[in-house]
Amino acid sequence: MNPVRPELRRAILHWREAIAAAGVVLAGIWMISLGGLLLQGLGLAVVVIGSAYLWVAVRRGRFRSGRGGPGVVQLDEGQIRYFGPFHGGSVALVALHSIRLVTEAGGRARWQLIDDEGRSLLIPADAEGSRLLFDAFAALEGMDAARLVALSRQTGPGTREIWQRPEGRLRPGTGTGSVTGGVAGGGNAGRNGGRVTRLH
């Protein structure tokens, strides 16, 4: 019998990166406490690196994500891919035009990714691997990571505009801003004019 309660185990897994980073910071502080210029210098470097990692890890931990939801999210070579039980698709980060968070009255939330041609892909916020979306979104030009985290944690029903490509900026590799890739997939993940794709 596992002595660790399920909710505690889930919390540890969710915050494992932050816990590891905190351990690195503590190790650096311990090295500094030993004295000596060499150890203190190394310890200071470890503290700085660990603190930077901890800052990022805490933001990742606060970002709305989960486990047990439908489907799997993958991030590969600049492509966000979603494989769901009823639909799936992918969108290139360079083709993203806007990101929204759609929350229903019951609290169920989905990320809506819209490409240059208005095609939409919905990804459940609690899909397996949804934590990967934080790094992908945070790297977008003009994205405010603090605002991203704050909006992702709001649970009231509605559609929240998270990000939109800065006006006047074309997609890299194009002269006109047209899309050559964009959202791909079967079922409800095809063209829908930017409308919300329903998941069942």
Q: Do 19 and 78 belong to one domain?
A: no
Q: Do 136 and 172 belong to one domain?
A: yes
pLDDT in tens, 26-83: 999 999 999 889 999 999 999 999 998 888 778 777 765 666 788 999 998 889 999 9
> Other C-beta atoms within 10 Å of 7: how many?
8
Count up the domains in the chain and report the number. 2
Can you read off the two tokens belonging to residue 124?
A: 């459940």
Q: Tell me the whole-structure pTM to 2 decimals.
A: 0.62
Distance of alpha carbon 92 from alpha carbon 80, whole angstroms: 6
Residue 125 lies in a domain: yes
Can you read off the two tokens belonging to residue 61?
A: 């931990």
Residue 194 lies in a domain: no
Q: For helices 16-33 and 37-62, what crossing angle results, to 10°?
A: 160
Residue 197 lies in a domain: no
User: Which of the residues in the chain have pLDDT under 70?
Assistant: 1-4, 7, 10-11, 14, 63-67, 168-200
Q: Do 105 and 182 belong to one domain?
A: yes
Q: Do 159 and 118 belong to one domain?
A: yes
Residue 200 lies in a domain: no
Domain boundary pick from 38, 62, 86: 62
